Amino acid sequence: VTLEARHHIQVTHFHRHHPFILYISIYVCVCDAFEVMAESYEFSQCDGQCLAFRRAASVLKSVPWPVERLGAATRLPCLGEHTRAVMEEILQCGRSFEVEKILCNDRYQRLKLFTSVFGVGPKTAEKWHRGGLRTLNDALEDPGVELNSMQKAGFRHHGDISRAVSRAEALALGEILHQAALGISAHAVLVLTGGFRRGKEFGHDVDFLLSTPEQGKEETLLLSLVDSLRRQGILLYCDHHPSTFDINNLPGVSFEAMDHFAKSFLILRLEDRQVEGGVQRPEGQHDGRSWRAVRVDVVAPPMERYAFTLLGWTGSRQFERDLRRFARKEKRMLLDNHGLWDKTKKEFLPAEREEDIFAHLGLEYLEPQLRNA
């Protein structure tokens, strides 16, 4: 069932004969409904409400019993009045009128379409919508729209980038990047992070962490890596952010999610033959090409920050948010991708491995597979 089709599942059809399917589809419906609500609030820049629905979806995913029995969902944490109302409507009627109204809403549909382009955020999408643009072609053809190089690349590879990346494709890219990194330095360390490290089978991009025990050489290594990919002819786009990391400025005023390490947001060309087991294109997507474009993120922290960056980039976003909140509220500690600051002791706590960070927080170590909140 495709993501789009899922919204239209008539759960009541399954009700009598397949109680198990009913459970799955209600579960999927409620989570998807919450995601639509969150997105719609995101488009309106209502961060609080957006987060409330994202968090509620996370909570639902972690509940070990069928949502049908959540009639008394009152005691579930993080379910506010609004989230509960949407869920109960779906449980009772099989659909939510509020969510359906959003799905049919012109503005929502256009913002969703525009933000599907790499480099187009909610603000640009809103501007285009206000300017009367309706389709991606409108944005390409309107003389009033000036695309930056990221958006141009986003449009050029829109089809490929909108298609999920498989685990086999992620591993193939890991192999290519690994070989390229080792060609530059025998000490280079490259690890897969993000959703694929959490065991996900599909992702919207592939995330890597690159480092080296040679102090202060990580950014040069990243630049050389990108250069090597360019020379191999597989670099389709690169947006490089130089490091702004300065240990003396930490902890900063706000311990934000974004970090200061050197990083590159890339689009790479992956040949079908490089993917183990070959590539199966969905019906109707055979355009004669034997390659696809993939979004790849690479972050390059210094080795002594490795554990913090690995923990931060492994995600999920909701897991990171909860972990940071726990550190702040329960431990009087500030955690981010750079380090862990103990407000009581007024010092940074060292960590070589993720395990050390969990130990500092007094928590049992959680394998990446258990961080899919």
Query: Which residues carry a binding-site annotation for Mg(2+)?
Result: 205, 207, 297
Q: Which of 160, 207, 259, 336 is catalytic?
A: 207
> Given the rule CB under 6 A, which of 10-18, 25-33, 194-202, 209-217 is the region that contacts ligand ATP?
194-202
Q: Other C-beta atoms within 10 Å of 124: how many?
A: 19
Q: Are 152 and 178 in contact (CB under 8 A)?
A: no
Q: Are 100 and 124 in contact (CB under 8 A)?
A: no
194 binds Mn ion (CB under 5 A): yes
Q: Using CB under 6 A, pick the residue from 257, 280, 330, 369 that binds ligand ATP.
A: 257
Q: Which CB, 91 or 222, lies closer to ligand ATP?
A: 222
Binding mask 290-319 for ligand ATP (x = CB under 6 A): ----------------------xx-xxx--
Indicate the SS3 state at residue 290. coil
Q: Which of 239, 297, 322, 342 is catalytic?
A: 297
Q: Are 337 and 301 in contact (CB under 8 A)?
A: yes
167 binds ligand ATP (CB under 6 A): no
Q: Other C-beta atoms within 10 Å of 45: how many?
A: 10
320 binds Mn ion (CB under 5 A): no
194 binds ligand ATP (CB under 6 A): yes
Binding mask 314-333 for ligand ATP (x = CB under 6 A): -xxx--x-------------
Residues in Cβ contact with 117 at an 8 Å cutoff, skipping those fewer than 6 apart: 136, 139, 151, 154, 155, 158
Two tokens, residue 160: 């490929």
205 is catalytic: yes
Shortest CB 299 distance to ligand ATP, Å: 7
239 binds Mn ion (CB under 5 A): no
Q: In Å, how far from its chain's centre is CA 130?
A: 27
368 binds Mn ion (CB under 5 A): no
Q: Which of 32, 160, 205, 259 is catalytic?
A: 205
Q: Are 68 and 14 in contact (CB under 8 A)?
A: no
Q: In Å, how far from its chain's centre is CA 171?
A: 18
Q: Which CB, 161 or 351, lies closer to ligand ATP?
A: 161
**If we measure between CA atoms, which residue out of 209, 207, 216 comes closest to residue 247?**
216
Shortest CB 105 distance to Mn ion, Å: 28
Phi-psi region of 277 (alpha: psi -120 to 50; beta: other; left: phi over 0): left
Residues identified as active-site: 205, 207, 297
Residues that bind ligand ATP (CB under 6 A): 194-195, 200, 203-205, 207, 257-259, 312-313, 315-317, 320, 337
